């Protein structure tokens, strides 16, 4: 694929007679295509050249040679606007998609680099709620896109299967377990028990202390507590798997917190040898006040570990096992301080510098109810399995009303309903909080997952109306020079760059917004142009463009974890 941005940067570098490597980074895409395909802000050179941006723009325009790749250059304020050759753009885009098909946009930039993506990470014996859903689909999308760009990507579900909450669950089960049918309805039963034991702990400090001792017994291998703990894990994982199957999410590793329990002492020993461990009222801590990070607890006064210690053990283990270039933690921003602390403490564990630099907390905003923050302890959560089923049921109702004879209605409703929920979780910048609203999640109009699916189904419908899809050698590229066609082609051209931006920023919403843009641009093209035309050349060109749009929409949606329906 021709890299127009690189060509333009090389022309600018030649014109200013300076090998400035940052030039390419400065080149922008104008908000309006009428202003050009690319723009260079000349004020970036004002200090270096000691001239006004307008004068720099004029001088650069006079020096830069127009060739077959660039149609024209225009000045607007302090910007130099470049218009690429439309015929060349049309040719390279259509030829490359035709050649690569579902691999269009992929590259080998990640070859030889290991990327770990830790996501989902629900707590055992607690409901899988919409907060976990957002975590899961963000992580899964990033995993898919890194893999698509050639990285050796490993997905990790760091299960919350250790800690004081299990001491609480064991105590609650001892007291009220016989009141529930755990085998038949495990998660709801666990949730009720957890809410009850938390209420009791608030009222009676002695009960809370017993719960803490229960967890210490798990750490020490007590048979009864360990057996109950394993039972909670087995039943919970079975329930979680149903949700992962619905979402199409898979993991390469299910090593949770408990996996690292026998690896913690090495961490403590290393920290002790470095002389950074301190005693504080019986607990072991590391003072990070000088770094502005407060105090990081390593061991409690009763000898129990906390999740910071287990995360440190995980970093040490992963650096040895995977020698990673990146280790991404998809965790809500409420844990910002936690990750800053453990990344700082990890510097004392003799971990390779490459791995230390690759540690990254990908923070996302909380999902809140319109009535306030969700809380498992209070029993105020929306469970994902209920949300997904509600979405599927609503889609089935719409199909029943509008297209009752649709083939494979249940399967298509599942793709649309689940796709709506996934897209809703990914369409806005991930750091933003989301207020959960059923009406927004299941809105099938506007900038939504179902809209993208609808446009994809429309491309399939158009292709089904023609007997033979043309071969690329029969496509006359000059026919696709109109405004609507060029908007679609320019958007298709940017697909690989969009994916690169996603991994640079760890922001899947960039791809979600791109798919909306492509869908809207194709919708305008479809409305403004007669695709099935008496003129064979016109029909061939427009049909061929439609086919390529369908390929990219499907590829992009699947990278986000959304399956495309065949009918709507």
| Per-position DSSP letters for 135-186, written without gaps between them | HHHHHHHHHHHHHHTT-EEEEE---B--SHHHHHHHHHHHHHGGGS-TTTSH
Cβ-based neighbour number of residue 460 at 10 Å: 17
Distance (Å, whole) CA 269 – CA 282: 17
Burial (CB count <10 Å: 0-12, 13-18, 19+), residue 188: middle
- The domain segmentation of the chain, as residue ranges, is 4-84, 119-369, 384-559
CATH 3.40.1190.20 fits 119-369, yes or no: no
Distance (Å, whole) CA 3 – CA 496: 11
pLDDT of residue 425: 92
Cβ-based neighbour number of residue 484 at 10 Å: 18
Q: Cβ(232)–Cβ(189) under 8 Å? A: no
Q: How many residues does the chain have?
A: 568
Cβ-based neighbour number of residue 370 at 10 Å: 8
CATH 1.10.3720.10 fits 4-84, yes or no: no
One pLDDT digit (tens) per residue for the chain, 568 residues: 899 999 999 999 999 887 777 888 899 988 888 889 999 999 988 888 889 999 999 999 999 988 999 999 999 989 999 999 999 999 999 999 999 999 999 999 999 999 999 999 998 888 888 888 999 999 999 999 999 999 999 999 999 998 888 999 999 999 999 999 888 889 889 989 999 999 999 999 999 999 999 988 998 889 999 999 999 999 999 999 999 999 999 999 999 999 998 999 999 999 999 999 999 988 999 999 999 999 999 998 887 778 899 999 999 999 999 999 999 999 999 999 999 999 999 999 999 999 999 999 999 998 776 665 555 455 556 788 888 998 999 999 989 988 888 889 999 999 999 999 999 999 999 999 887 776 776 666 678 999 999 999 999 999 999 988 999 999 999 999 999 999 999 999 999 999 999 999 999 999 999 999 999 999 999 999 999 998 999 999 999 999 999 999 999 999 999 999 999 8
pLDDT of residue 369: 65
Q: Cβ(105)–Cβ(144) under 8 Å? A: no
pLDDT of residue 375: 54
Distance (Å, whole) CA 272 – CA 260: 19
User: What Å distances lie between residue 195 and 125, 238, 380, CA to CA?
Assistant: 12, 22, 10
Distance (Å, whole) CA 390 – CA 240: 18
pLDDT of residue 300: 87
Q: What architecture is the 384-559 domain classified under in CATH?
A: Orthogonal Bundle (1.10)
Cβ-based neighbour number of residue 562 at 10 Å: 30
Task: Name the residue among 282, 267, 410 with its Cα closest to residue 347.
Answer: 267
Strands lying side by side in the sheet with 70-76? 38-41, 79-84, 70-76
End-to-end CA distance of the chain: 34
Backbone angles phi, psi at 483, to 5 degrees: -60, -45
The interaxial angle of helices 449-464 and 536-559, nearest 10 deg, is 150
Give bridge partners of residue 305 from the DSSP assignment: 299
Distance (Å, whole) CA 474 – CA 18: 45
User: What Å distances lie between residue 450 and 117, 390, 395, 524, 544, CA to CA?
Assistant: 28, 15, 10, 18, 24
pLDDT of residue 7: 94
pLDDT of residue 273: 95
Q: Is pTM, for the whole model, over 0.85?
A: yes
Task: Give residue for tokens 């791995």.
Answer: 355
The interaxial angle of helices 164-176 and 186-203, nearest 10 deg, is 100
Spatial neighbors of 34 by CB under 8 A, at least 6 apart, are none
pLDDT of residue 387: 86
Distance (Å, whole) CA 242 – CA 15: 60
């Amino acid at each position: 694929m021709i890299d127009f941005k690189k060509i333009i940067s090389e022309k600018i570098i030649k014109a200013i007679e300076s090998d400035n490597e940052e030039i390419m980074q400065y080149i922008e895409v104008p908000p309006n295509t009428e202003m050009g395909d690319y723009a260079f802000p000349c004020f970036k050179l004002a200090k270096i050249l000691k001239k006004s941006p307008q004068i720099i723009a004029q001088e650069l325009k006079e020096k830069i040679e127009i060739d077959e790749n660039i149609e024209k250059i225009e000045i607007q304020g302090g910007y130099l606007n470049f218009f690429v050759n439309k015929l060349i753009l049309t040719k390279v885009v259509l030829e490359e998609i035709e050649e690569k098909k579902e691999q269009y946009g992929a590259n080998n930039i990640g070859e030889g680099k290991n990327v770990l993506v830790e996501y989902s990470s629900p707590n055992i014996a607690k409901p899988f709620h919409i907060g976990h859903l957002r975590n899961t689909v963000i992580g899964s999308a990033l995993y898919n896109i890194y893999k698509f760009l050639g990285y050796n990507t490993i997905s990790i579900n760091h299960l919350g299967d250790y800690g004081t909450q299990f001491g609480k669950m064991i105590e609650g089960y001892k007291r009220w377990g016989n009141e529930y049918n755990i085998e038949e309805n495990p998660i709801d039963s666990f949730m009720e028990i957890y809410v009850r034991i938390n209420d009791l702990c608030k009222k009676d400090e002695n009960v809370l202390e017993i719960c803490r001792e229960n967890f210490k017994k798990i750490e020490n291998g007590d048979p009864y507590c360990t057996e109950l703990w394993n039972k909670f894990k087995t039943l919970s994982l079975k329930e979680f798997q149903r949700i992962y199957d619905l979402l199409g999410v898979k993991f390469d590793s299910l090593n949770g917190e408990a996996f690292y329990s026998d690896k913690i002492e090495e961490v403590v020993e290393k920290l002790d040898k470095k002389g950074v461990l301190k005693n504080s009222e019986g607990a072991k801590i590391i003072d990070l006040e000088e770094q502005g990070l407060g105090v990081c607890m390593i061991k409690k006064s009763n000898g129990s570990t906390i999740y910071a210690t287990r995360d440190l053990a995980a970093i040490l283990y992963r650096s040895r096992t995977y020698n990673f270039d990146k280790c991404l933690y998809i965790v809500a921003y409420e844990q910002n301080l936690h990750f800053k602390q453990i990344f700082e403490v990890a510097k004392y564990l003799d971990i390779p510098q490459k791995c230390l630099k690759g540690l990254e907390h990908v923070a996302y905003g909380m999902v809140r109810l319109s009535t306030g923050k969700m809380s498992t302890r209070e029993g105020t959560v929306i469970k994902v399995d209920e949300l997904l089923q509600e979405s599927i049921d609503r889609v089935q109702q719409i199909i029943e009303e509008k297209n009752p004879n649709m083939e494979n209605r249940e399967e298509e409703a599942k793709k649309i309903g689940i796709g709506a929920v996934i897209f809703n979780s990914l369409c806005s910048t991930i750091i933003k909080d989301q207020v959960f609203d059923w009406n927004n999640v299941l809105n099938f109009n506007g900038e939504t997952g179902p809209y993208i699916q609808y446009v994809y189904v429309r491309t399939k419908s158009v292709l089904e109306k023609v007997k033979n899809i043309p071969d690329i050698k029969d496509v006359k590229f000059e026919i696709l020079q109109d405004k609507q066609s060029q908007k679609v082609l320019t958007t298709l051209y940017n697909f690989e760059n969009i994916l690169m931006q996603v991994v640079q920023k760890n922001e899947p919403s960039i791809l979600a917004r791109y798919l909306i843009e492509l869908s809207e641009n194709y919708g305008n093209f479809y409305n403004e142009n007669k695709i099935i035309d008496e003129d064979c050349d016109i029909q061939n060109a427009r049909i061929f463009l439609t086919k390529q749009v369908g390929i990219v929409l499907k590829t992009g949606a699947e990278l986000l974890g959304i399956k495309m329906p065949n009918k709507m």
